[in-house]
Amino acid sequence: MESLNTQVIVLNFELKGSDFEAAGEASSKIKLVLQQIGIRSDVIRRIAISAYEAEMNVIIHAYRGKMKAEIFSDHTKITLKDEGPGISDIKLAMQEGYSTAPDYIREMGFGAGMGLPNMVRCTDKFDIESSVGIGTTISMTVCHNPLTIVGQ
């Protein structure tokens, strides 16, 4: 699962839709690695929260997905690619308060339509692509030193 060289640490995870038992485990492991390499705690928090929001979205809204964290010395990039219903209107989905989550998700404390806007808020770069009936891909980058500007 973990491959390590001097350039980058790569972590790969498989996510299963509706697996609420495991939901959050991938983000939790990413957080642990970031702590071990001594990234600033406020930066880790932003990475952990955005990763968890994205991970929960796959668990809640999609069938299955892959999550990848690439930890470079000056930034972390997290990519999630899922197989699922996709999002027909991304602009609408990005609005605070928009949610299609069913009642049992709300009873769990999620489904307020805050996840995507929160990912944008927590990250320095956020991209989303989606095809209806196929799936959704999200990629997020957070700089480790908020003064650094990251290239592509």
Partner 1 sequence: MKLEEVGRILEADLLCGEDLLLREVVTVCGSDLLSDVLAFTIQETLLLTALINMQVIRTADLSDLIGIVFVNGKRPGTDLIAMAQQKRIPLFVTRLPMYEACGRLYQYGLKGCI
Positions that interact with partner 1 (CB under 8 A): 20-21, 23-24, 27-28, 31, 41-42, 45, 48-49, 51-53, 108-115, 117-118, 121
Instruction: Give the integer Cα–Cα distance in Å for 126 and 37.
Output: 24
> Which of residues 63 and 98 has its CB atom nearest to partner 1 in the complex?
98
Tokens of 51: 């990763």
Least Å from the CB of residue 84 to Mg ion: 13
Shortest Å distance, C-beta 23 to ligand ATP: 11
Nearer Cβ to partner 1, position 42 or 151? 42
| Cα distance between residue 139 and residue 124, in whole Å | 11
CA 36 to chain centre: 20
Report the C-alpha gap between 139 and 78 in whole angstroms. 6
Q: Report the distance separating Cα 116 and Cα 128, nearest Å.
A: 10
- Separation of CA 88 from chain center: 20
Distances in whole angstroms, Cα of residue 151 to Cα of each of 11, 36, 104, 126, 144:
21, 25, 41, 13, 13
Least Cβ distance, residue 29 to Mg ion (angstroms):
20
- The partner in contact with residue 136, picked from ligand ATP, Mg ion, partner 1, none with C-beta cut-offs of 5 to 8 angstroms by kind, is ligand ATP
Minimum separation from the CB atom of position 25 to ligand ATP (A): 17
Nearer to partner 1, 95 or 149 (CB): 95
Which positions lie near Mg ion, rule CB under 5 A? 57, 115
Which residues of the chain form contacts with ligand ATP (CB under 6 A)? 53, 57-58, 60-62, 82, 84-87, 93, 98-101, 110-116, 136
